[in-house]
Amino acid sequence: EAGVTQFPSHSVIEKGQTVTLRCDPISGHDNLYWYRRVMGKEIKFLLHFVKESKQDESGMPNNRFLAERTGGTYSTLKVQPAELEDSGVYFCASSPSNLAGGRTKANEQFFGPGTRLTVL
């Protein structure tokens, strides 16, 4: 089974520009999460989708960040306009619903390789 994929792997932009990150979760996973790791610190939660609905967006830093998951499949995270402090690695993760059963443990989240964003 294909894992979580993210695009691009790296992005270098100038302050004030716009960047859009994409995440393709594991097929069939209803839950999709965005996290961010800044400057070697902890990985911080940004938001959680259940299908196409935002379940929890308490970690979104400010209104320059916009996440969407149209159709409940892939998700995009747009930063507009980007600031220097937005630099970091953005991870996407997915998990099935608890009702899905199967071999996956409840709460287990599968992470993508991340997008390294550098704002100059």
Partner 1 sequence: GENVEQHPSTLSVQEGDSAVIKCTYSDSASNYFPWYKQELGKGPQLIIDIRSNVGEKKDQRIAVTLNKTAKHFSLHITETQPEDSAVYFCAASSGDYKLSFGAGTTVTVRA
Q: Is 88 in the site for partner 1 (CB under 8 A)?
A: no
Shortest distance in whole angstroms from residue 114 CB to partner 1: 6
Query: Which of 14, 56, 83, 85: binder of partner 1 (CB under 8 A)?
Result: 56
Is residue 91 within 8 A of residue 43, CB to CB? The reply is yes
Burial string for 29-52 (b: 16+ CB within 10 Å, else e) reads: bbbbbbbbebeeeeeebbbbbeee
- The site for partner 1 (CB under 8 A) is made up of 4, 31, 33, 35, 40-45, 48, 55-56, 58-59, 91, 93, 95, 105, 107-114
